[in-house]
Structures are given as structure tokens and as C-alpha cells.
Structure 1
Amino acid sequence: MPLDHVGNSTDLPTFLNTVHDEVAEDLAGPLTELVLIDDEIDAAAAAKPSLADVFFHSFDLLRPRSALRPAVAAESVLRSHVRELLARLGAGADTGPPTSAEMFVAVHHTGRAVPLHGPTAGLYFRLLVAAFPAWPGIADLTDRQRHYEVLYGGRIDDLVEHLRRRLADPDRRMPAVVTCRGRHRGEAAVCRYADTRALPVRAPYTAPPQA
């Protein structure tokens, strides 16, 4: 099972610095990114075997977009992003809107340059709770978030909708046509996308008769 790489510290600044440092150092190179996405696909397939073929062919959809690629290089952010998209696929939901991880990264970068107060701080905490539910300090953070929700809940909702419109990607969806030859990772697989048309059968070689 995949590990939740969200750090062991329950201290919020330590956790956020860990995420930021991972982003800055680009810890997950292209190869690591592929491994992590495959890891999450396998976990989703184990949870919903009937959709294993859909998850397998969603790989390109799950890869982070170029604008956010440096940010989702952090394993914690990448796993959160991929898991949410896989969950949407499993539920038949739209994959175009941004994930909580993508929205969190956008607000996180803003907060590094401009202090967040009031509803923007509440937005930050709401997205943090949504993107990293497995973080050990989430219970304490949820209490802090509840305070902002009471004071600014409606305005936070508006900010979330603004982010969703701004970061939405209508082209991020399963392709209309998926090509599959009935093999996944080199092994025969039962797949709804497999080309079931009969392939031409080549006659076995027969040596010519001796003169």
C-alpha cells in the first residue's frame, strides 16, 4: 500500500516547510512521478477492481499539468492530486475542475508572498484539510479551520468557486477513444477498451519439399 508522505510532525509550520522544500528541490523527478502515479493507480484498482482498466488508461489524465508541475513534484501534493482524480473517475465525476491539491498550491504560493488574513486564511486552511487528510496534525488544524468557517464560511465558498473557475481544465478528461491491445504492462488483461477485432493469423512456416 502507498505511504502517505505528509511528514511525521504535527506542527503546522514544520509540515508546510516540508512541503515547500520538496517543491523547491523538485524531489520527484519524471521517473519518480511515474512510479507514484502507478502506485496510486494500483491502490485504486485494488479498491475498485471493476474499474481497474479505466484507472490503468487514465495515466495521462493523472499527470500534473505543466503550470503546476514544479509544485506537484512534492510527493505529498502529487499523491493527493492523483487520489482525488482517481476518486472522481471511480464516481463518474468531472475531472476538469482543479483538485484540492492544485488549489492549495496556488494559495500556498500566494501566501508566501502576501500575508493571508480573514477569508483568505480560511480558504488556505479549508484546502489544506481537504488536500492532506492523513497529516497527523489534521485534528488540531480542523479546529482552527472551524473558527474561520464560522466567521467567513460564505466568503470562503466564493473564493473556492473563483479558484475552480480560474484553474479548471475542460480538456482534462478520458479521451473519447482509448486504444488497447488487451495487454497492461506486458501482461494479458481483461479491458473494456481492448480491440476485440480478429487479427490476421499468419500461416505457420512450412519447408518446401525437397526436389
Structure 2
Amino acid sequence: MAMENLTSCLHPPFPSWKWNLVGAAHRFNQRTQLIRASLSETSIQEEAIKKELRREEEKITRQLEEEAARKQHANDKARKEMREWWIEKWEAKKRSEGWGGYEKCWVLRAIDPNESHLAVISGEGILLGAAPLAYGTIKPFVVDFPMVSSVHAHVYGKDVVKGYKKYVREYFVVDLGSTNGTYLNRSKLRPRTEVRLKKGDVLKFGDERATFIVEFQS
């Protein structure tokens, strides 16, 4: 009995209210850890959501920029085509109707001095052959030789756009599937193929007598 009393004095029993405080503190620590873990998971989820939202915003921004660029390109192309159409068609029409234009006209002049053939290449050009017909502003030019087809070739000039408000007048010949062919400087042309002409070129339409030189009108 005396030993028990001595032990009780040296090691007094832990009060129950202190045990309750220890338990409460332990439970508080557990709840705090759970809350911190939950907050950490929530922060990670929120950060992932924010990153995904940023990616979506960037994607939408890129799509809008690409769409705007496509529209701008289409508008630029349409304006360019309209400008080229205006230069090539309207200005050509003005010149063909004598509103201004070139100081000299291109012509086909017969090489044979005994021939008086002279064709002025104006408007939409000339339709050359033994029996050509007028077509729109294309003028017929009769070259009646045995080896010249009824409708042999088309010789014409047109404005070729070289840049904004910059164009040049170039001349072309097209063989229209003639029987005996069209020759440019002794080279036979492929039928229905546009070939550019230059001053001094020699054209032969089937017959040696139907040979012309391309030059300016004097």
C-alpha cells in the first residue's frame, strides 16, 4: 500500500480532460491534413483547367486570325482581278475606239511588191483567209490564194498586264486548223495555239504568195 502511494506521488495519473485535449488536437491535425490535401488537389485541378482554357483561347484566336487572313487574301485577290480586268478590258476598249492609245498601228504588209495587201491589226484583230467572215469587231481580211483556207488564221493585239496600271500591247497569231498551215519565220505553227509576234516577223499562210511581214504602219 505504501509502495502504491509512493508510485502515485511520483507518477500522478493523467487527467481525463488532458486526454480529451490530446485527442482533439490529434483529430484537428488529421482534419487539417485532409483539408490541405483537398486544397492541393483542388489547386492542381484549377491550374489544369486554367491551362486548358488558355489553350482553347489560343486555338480560337489562331482560328480567328487565320480566317481574317483568308478573307483579306480573298479580298486582295478580288481587287487585283478587278483592277486587271479594268486595265486589260476597259483601257483596251478605249484605245480600240480611238479615245487615245498608240501612235502607230501594227500591220501585215505583203512582201510581194506586186501585191497591195495591207491589213491594219486593230480592235480584236483580223480574221484571215480566202473567205473569212466578220465576227464582232474582228475584221475579215481576204487572201485568195489556192493554198489558203477559207478561214485560215486570226491575227490580233491585246493588252498584257505587267503590273498595277502598267500594261503593254502585244500581238499574236493563231492558226485556226488550216489545211496547209501557218508559218512564222519558216516554222510551222501548232493549230489553235497562240504565238506572240514581234516586229519584223514573217508570216506565211499556206501559199508562198501569201507571205506578210509584221511592222508598224508608216
The TM tier, using the shorter chain, reads under 0.3
Larger helix proportion of the pair: 1
* TM-score, length of structure 2 as denominator length: 0.23
Q: Which has the higher contact order (CA 8 A, sep 6+)?
A: 1
Pair member with larger Rg: 2
TM score, norm. by length of structure 1: 0.24
